[in-house]
Amino acid sequence: MMELVLIVAGLVVVALFMVLFAPHIRKYSAGGTCMSMARLDGKTVLITGANTGIGKETALDLAIRGARVIMACRDVEKGEEAAASIRRIYYEANVEVRELDLADTSSIRAFVHRLLREVNHLHVLINNAGVMMCPYVKTNDGFEMQLGVNHLGHFLLTYLLIGLLKRSAPARIVVVSSLAHNVGWIRFHDLLSQGSYNSGLAYCQSKLANLLFARELARRLKGSSVTVNSVHPGLVRSDLVRHSTIMSLLFSLFSLFLKSPRDGAQTSIYCAVAEELHSLTGKHFSDCAPASVAPHGRNEETARKLWDASSELLGIVWDH
Ligand SMILES: NC(=O)C1=CN([C@@H]2O[C@H](COP(=O)(O)OP(=O)(O)OC[C@H]3O[C@@H](n4cnc5c(N)ncnc54)[C@H](OP(=O)(O)O)[C@@H]3O)[C@@H](O)[C@H]2O)C=CC1
Ligand SMILES: CC1=C(/C=C/C(C)=C/C=C/C(C)=C/C=O)C(C)(C)CCC1
């Protein structure tokens, strides 16, 4: 009985502490802020997964800076709702919604085909969309969903847009990875998890793949004035954890310690606009500052091997 009273008293003290210090905890959890005042008038930006979470906040910020923002969303209705809510905040926002399902290479190709007819330039590409810890499902092309959307879909999208980005240089590519890359490894013997599937490990693999892709692309684009950097946005309150009960529970429990989507967007925005990053490429950022990369995320051989495996799966050859 005494023990129970002590436990309840302890919980009350912790809850009281959280309530009292909530503003300070929130301020601390918010992380870095992009302080750049750079304007993007006359610039065109493309953001994947821009209908919610980090992508939507990134779209709002870049629209306020004067950019024409293409919001690439798999659900156009949700995308239009997000665009309308951006226009309610900033009525001059030049935001346009386009359909893009990264789980379907024919959708990616159709999206780019249409885009190339509509825009002459692309100055910033933000590969933001992501899916986390979903049950084992395949994309339209038979790829495991998390590697398929998070890595392969963006790999193909970037391949199809690289000519436009080069013609628009100076241009920037921002790849939204995660600190989850630290616990991932590339399972070359079973890249698509056909032999065995663990939703958490598959997510971590896909986020490591994002990072390796960014570094290898940056290496290949040296001298082209198209830079590529990757980002860990922080732990952010968003829909990302929707597929995992345990993650949803943890996120609710520790909600006070998580960033808002607006705070989570800061590092993507920083990499897209900061003047001091003008020619910086192949780096990883978090909280608007350089961040460390796990040793296996720096392995050039793994990056090249993944590049070749990805190209083969997608049936493409990067000759530019
Ligand atoms: N939240 C966090 O703590 C962290 C997030 N990240 C990364 O940040 C990025 C943004 O995540 P966040 O904003 O938190 O998550 P959300 O779930 O809020 O947003 C993810 C976006 O990706 C879109 N998306 C999912 N599947 C597809 C697809 N097949 N085709 C096109 N778009 C798709 C979603 O569309 P729809 O709404 O239709 O599902 C949504 O717009 C992700 O890459 C994630 O891995 C990294 C570290 C931590
Ligand atoms: C276990 C644990 C936590 C939860 C960590 C989680 C839930 C991480 C999620 C990572 C994600 C979503 C990465 C996306 O790329 C907290 C809250 C830090 C508090 C300390 C203990």
Which of the listed residues 236, 243, 252 should we mutate to test ligand 1's pocket, taking the one with most ligand atoms within 8 A of CB? 236
d(CA 59, CA 57): 5
Residues 30-58: what's their mean pLDDT? 96
Report residue 5 CA to chain centroid gap: 46
Instruction: Please tell me the distance between residue 84's alpha carbon and the centre of ligand 1 in angstroms.
Output: 19
Nearest ligand atom owner, CA of 264: 1
d(CA 218, CA 319): 15
Closest ligand to C-alpha of residue 130 is 1
pLDDT at 34 over 90: yes
pLDDT 10s digits, 125-155: 999 999 999 999 999 999 999 999 999 999 9
Long-range contacts of 255-261 (CB under 8 A, 24+ apart): 256/18, 256/22, 256/25, 256/26, 256/29, 257/25, 257/29, 258/29, 258/234, 259/29, 259/30, 259/31, 259/233, 259/234, 259/235, 260/30, 260/236, 261/52, 261/53, 261/54, 261/56, 261/57, 261/236, 261/237
The interface pTM score, or ipTM, of the predicted complex is: 0.95
Q: Which residues line ligand 2 (CB under 6 A)?
A: 178, 180, 207, 235, 240-241, 247, 250-251, 254, 257
Query: For the chain, first and last CA: distance in Å?
Result: 72
- Dist. CA 158–CA 164, nearest whole Å: 10
CATH topology of domain 36-314: Rossmann fold (3.40.50)
- Ligand 2 pocket test: which of 244, 250, 259 has the largest number of ligand atoms within 8 Å of its C-beta? 250
Residue type, 204: C
Report residue 202 as tokens: 């598959």
Q: Quote the tokens at residue 309.
A: 């495996």
How far apart are the C-alpha atoms of 277 and 297, rounded to whole Å?
21
| Cα 240 to ligand 1 centroid, rounded to whole Å | 6
Q: How confident is the model at residue 18 (pLDDT cuts 50, 70, 90)?
A: low
| Residue 250 clears pLDDT 70, i.e. is over it | yes
pLDDT-derived band at 62 (thresholds 50, 70, 90) equals very high
Distance from Cα 236 to the centre of ligand 2, integer Å: 9
Q: Which residue bears the tokens 């004035």? A: 225
Model pTM score: 0.94
Containing H/E element for 23?
helix 2-29
Q: Rounded to the nearest whole angstrom, what is the distance from the C-alpha of residue 31 to the centroid of ligand 1?
A: 20
Name the band, by pLDDT with cuts 50, 70 and 90, for residue 1.
confident
Which residues are catalytically annotated?
203
pLDDT at 14: 61
Substitution candidate for ligand 1 out of 51, 78, 237, 239 with most atoms within 8 A of CB: 239
> Where exactly are the structural domains of the chain?
36-314
Comparing CA positions, the residue from 210, 209, 225 lying closest to residue 281 is: 225
Asked if 299 and 245 touch (Cβ cutoff 8 Å), the reply is: no
Give the number of the atom of ligand 2 that is nearest the alpha carbon of residue 258.
17
Which ligand has its closest atom nearest to the C-alpha of 265?
A: 1
CA torsion angle 256 52 45 150 (round to 10): 90
pLDDT digits (tens, 9 = 90+) for 188-228: 999 999 999 999 999 999 999 999 999 999 999 999 999 99
